[in-house]
DNA sequence: CCCAGTCAGTTCGTTCAACGAACCAACCGC
DNA sequence: GCGGTTGGTTCGTTGAACGAACTGACTGGG
């Protein structure tokens, strides 16, 4: 019997990947980690996610080596969550999925753009810089506010910070 | 209140994409469509998925323009499901996700490899042909049986057909 | 004509994941 | 001591996925 996230009858690495990152909310947590969100409370208010689900997903992402925990305070003990190198490689999935959706389902102008930090050019759908002609690593990507404006802009600290100024991926946001 | 697949508080194309393809089983159905699976019954036996879930997912994928229905028989009326051009673009998500998982979680040799059909070279993680130096479209990709052997090889018609001989993506399998 | 088999679903009761609300412990500062 | 903050945990409710059974419309064979 296949439960919740289990695809055990499938001899396939795609199925295995979906067991790891296919649960509800998981890839959005990873997205936020790319934005530089690191703390439980910040993920919580940006995602509007049930607390127990967030705790469960963060623990799972740490367990499978996509996120790592890092102590940022000893009294009381407080950890933050950062992408591992393995986690950073998920940009190759997250960016094309965003791009595909933006191209086909975007309503008007994008709310956000991703640019080559070195030269400022918007990435192409294959996450290359059309100006420099190079594959752009997420560490060299800057998230910018796009020309589109959402009907209901979010007011949580993460959304506000992302709107205020361009932000290099993987750098702490708050 | 966020329900099942809804991320309506997120002003983000990634979240929108996950509303469309993030439900359990959906990306595996799309994967099978790339293999050339087209009929309800073939998806059913290859995925071991509940019938109602398959019907629901196929209907949703048609509704959002990832799959299209095509009549293959009038009496009784019988439809098959093919990827649209928009659906075919999801290769840019599916292949990197498979590749990421294979690299980090694969147990030994891969059960499957994806090769540039024109020259036979295995694709690199960015779905390029290292020999020809070109980006390889899924229409020019051949799925091969890999050197690894699953502990419990599947015996459904789709799995058998995929094992028998290399198969060009998007071509009918059965 | 009847029956069995096949196909692509639909229905229904059960189980499990996600949900929202409440609570908890361990701090810190006033 | 109290209130606020943080990062959770617990618990009853709700909705999605599940497995089993059923359905209608054929086809082919006896």
CA distance B60 to A2: 22
pLDDT of residue B2: 36
Kindly determine whether residue A22 and residue B17, on different chains, have CB atoms separated by under 8 Å.
no
* pLDDT at residue A152 greater than cutoff 90: no
DSSP A2: -
Asked whether residue A79, judged by its CB, lies under 7 Å from any atom of the DNA or RNA strand D, the reply is yes
B97 and B160: one domain? yes
Mutation target among A5, A6, A11 for the B interface, most CBs of B within 10 A: A11
Kindly determine whether residue B86 and residue A94, on different chains, have CB atoms separated by under 8 Å.
no
A152-163 burial, b for 16+ CB within 10 Å, e for fewer? eebeeebbebbb
CA distance A106 to A124: 16
pLDDT of residue A107: 80
Asked whether residue A75, judged by its CB, lies under 7 Å from any atom of the DNA or RNA strand D, the reply is no
Residues of A in contact with B106 (CB under 8 A): 13
Q: Is B148 exposed, middle or buried (0-12, 13-18, 19+ CB in 10 A)?
A: middle
Asked whether residue B70, judged by its CB, lies under 7 Å from any atom of the DNA or RNA strand C, the reply is no
Q: Which two tokens stand for residue B2?
A: 């966020």
Asked whether residue B53, judged by its CB, lies under 7 Å from any atom of the DNA or RNA strand D, the reply is yes
C1' (D24) to CA (B89) span, angstroms: 37
Smallest CA-to-CA distance from B67 within B54, B58, B78 is with: B58
How far, in Å, are A14, A104, A148, B98, B169 from residue B111 at the CA level? Answer: 12, 33, 44, 12, 16
Examine residue A76 and say whether the peptide bond preceding it is cis (omega within 30 degrees of 0): yes
> Is A97 inside a domain boundary?
no
CA distance A62 to A81: 8
B54 touches chain A (CB under 8 A): no
Smallest CA-to-CA distance from B29 within B63, B55, B2, B3 is with: B55
B108 and B42: one domain? no
pLDDT of residue A2: 36
CA distance B23 to B152: 26
> Is A162 inside a domain boundary?
yes
Asked whether residue A51, judged by its CB, lies under 7 Å from any atom of the DNA or RNA strand C, the reply is yes
Minimum-distance CB partner of B17 among A17, A92, A100: A100
Query: Is B86 in a helix, a strand, or coil?
Result: helix
> Is B43 inside a domain boundary?
yes
Total domains present in chain A: 1
Q: What percent of chain A has pLDDT over 90?
A: 85
- Final residue of a domain: which of B86, B104, B135? B86
In which domain, by residue range, is A137 found? 107-168
* pLDDT at residue A94 greater than cutoff 70: yes
> Is B139 inside a domain boundary?
yes
Kindly determine whether residue B14 and residue A2, on different chains, have CB atoms separated by under 8 Å.
no
Q: What is the mean pLDDT of residues A120-140?
A: 96
Low-confidence ranges of chain B (pLDDT < 50): 1-3
C1' (C26) to CA (A76) span, angstroms: 6
> Is A101 inside a domain boundary?
no
> Is B156 inside a domain boundary?
yes
B89 touches chain A (CB under 8 A): yes
> Is B6 inside a domain boundary?
no
> Is B58 inside a domain boundary?
yes
Q: What is the mean pLDDT of residues A150-170?
A: 93
């Amino acid at each position: 019997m296949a439960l919740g996230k289990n695809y055990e009858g499938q001899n396939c690495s795609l199925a295995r990947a979906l067991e790891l990152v296919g649960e509800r909310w998981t890839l959005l947590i990873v997205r936020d980690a790319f934005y530089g969100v690191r703390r439980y409370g910040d993920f919580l208010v940006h995602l509007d996610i049930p607390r127990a689900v967030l705790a469960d997903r963060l623990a799972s992402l740490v367990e499978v080596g996509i996120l790592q925990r890092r102590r940022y305070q000893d009294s009381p003990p407080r950890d933050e969550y950062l992408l591992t190198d393995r986690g950073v490689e998920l940009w190759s999935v997250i960016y094309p999925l965003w791009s595909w959706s933006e191209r086909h389902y975007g309503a008007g102008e994008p709310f956000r753009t991703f640019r080559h930090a070195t030269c400022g050019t918007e990435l192409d759908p294959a996450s290359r810089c059309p100006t420099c002609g190079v594959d752009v690593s997420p560490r060299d990507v800057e998230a910018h506010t796009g020309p589109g404006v959402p009907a209901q802009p979010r007011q949580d600290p993460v959304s506000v910070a992302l709107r205020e100024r361009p932000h290099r991926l993987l750098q702490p946001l708050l």
